Each structure stands twice: as C-alpha cells, then as structure tokens.
Chains A and B, each alone.
Chain A
Amino acid sequence: MRVTRVLFAAVAVVMGLSGCSIQPWVKPYEREHLADPIMAFDRNPVSSAYLDHVFEAREGARGASGSAGGGCGCN
C-alpha cells in the first residue's frame, strides 16, 4: 500500500539521519523553560483527549492532534 511505503521511507530517513552528528544548539543545561510544565503540549492528557473527542464528534475532521517531545530532555 502506498502509505506503508511512504512510512517505511520515513523510518529509513529518520534512522539514517540519527547517524549524523549535529551539535545541539540548545544545550541540555539550557532547557529550563522547555521543562516548565506550562510548556508541555499536553499538560492534562485526560482533559485534552476529552476535548479532542468533543470536536471530532461534532465535526467532520479527525486526526493529527497528537504531539510528543520537548520537556527537560533528562537522561
């Protein structure tokens, strides 16, 4: 299926890229603001998932509402 091929390509690109050594321009000790709970995309997952559900039920569109990443980058 075309979608699977695109996704496999995406995985391949991603895995290839992870071999490149790009120096992080935001150092680990500079992530104070990003680690602040108010900067989380999803501070209250139960609430935001419920609201996503309300909108999907009333509207014709669906999808593309998840996000990951950010935070303190510890460990």
Chain B
Amino acid sequence: MMPRFAPFAVRALAVLAVALPVLATSSSAPAPDFSLPSNSGKTINLSQYKGQVVMINFWATWCGPCRQEMPLLEGIYKKYNKMGFTMLGVNVEPDSKPAEAWLKQTPVSFPVLFDKESKVSTLYKVSGMPSTVIIDRKGNVQFIHRGYKPGDENEYLNSIRSLVRQ
C-alpha cells in the first residue's frame, strides 16, 4: 500500500532531478578544445586525446596546494596511463620559467602545458587554484574539483576508475 506522502515524494524527487545537474556544476557538457605549447616543445591539442580519459589539472608554482598535489598526480598518471588515461598539467603562469625550474626539481612524466595568456583558464572558467577537470572518452566533462586537500585524490580515483571502464 502506497504511503500517503508518496505523491509529494515523487514531486520532490522530480524537482531534485532537475535541480541537481545545475547544482553539480556542468557535468556531461562537452569539454572545450584547446591548443597549447608543452614542456616537450610540441604543441598539444585536447582533441588528440579523444577516446582516452583525460584529467586536466590547473596549477601554478606559487600555489602551495598545487605543488603538494603534483607527486600524487604523477602516481595516478603512472597507474592508469596504460588503461587509456592521460594527465595534462596546465600551468597558468604568464612566465613559464618558474614552472620549468620547479619541474627540474620535481619532474613529472605527464605533459605540462603553458597557458601564458590564460586562454584555457578562462575557457574552463577556472574558479580556484588548483582546479581539476576529468573528461570521459567521448570528450564530455564528468568531474570538476576546486582546491586540493589531502584525501581529495580519492575522489579523483573514484571518477577515473569508473570512466576508464567505459
């Protein structure tokens, strides 16, 4: 027998179903394409990674939590790279020299791109430092995270694990 509040519950869930996608910042929207120089010398386009799961991390040498996060990102990259996953570090500084110097001390094996004119930061509406965006194999944004606190990498891993299985 249906409880008396069932109609209300259905309506409430309907409202939430509409509201939630708005609250959970733009999931399943296509990730805008971009083209940036990288630390390997080559220009890299996001579209060349279609078919792979891509994690973009916006960082800067002057941002403490960003530097703290980098070795963890390297670990994630190494673990999932073989499963069709790639990491792109987008350095947001107008001058690439501090980043290059820092990477000499703390090298990473994933591509680091230089967004000197903040084109991509603006395109992705970066609203915190660091910012992480995870894109599925079809090229849609599925996960957005602002800031970094120890333990946040578990959220990244949950998203990556489900997306690499697709």
Contact = CB atoms under 8 A, between A and B. Distances in A.
Interface of A: 27-32, 35-36, 72-75
A27 B64 contact: no
B148 A75 contact: yes
Contacts of B148: 74-75
A19 to B, nearest CB: 16
B126 A29 contact: yes
Interface string B134-166: 000000000000111100000000000000000
B118 A74 contact: no
Contacts of A28: 126-129, 131
Contacts of A36: 62
A27 B118 contact: yes
B63 interface: yes
Residue among B62, B66, B93, B94 with the highest chain A CB neighbour number at 10 A: B62
Given A74-B128, A75-B129, 16 more contacts: A27-B118, A27-B126, A28-B126, A28-B127, A28-B128, A29-B92, A29-B118, A31-B62, A32-B60, A32-B93, A32-B94, A72-B129, A74-B65, A74-B148, A75-B128, A75-B148
Interface in B93-149: 93-94, 118, 121-122, 126-131, 146-149
A72 B130 CA distance: 10
Given A27-B118, A27-B121, A32-B93, A72 B62 contact: yes
Contacts of B85: none
Residue among A32, A35, A73 with the highest chain B CB neighbour number at 10 A: A32
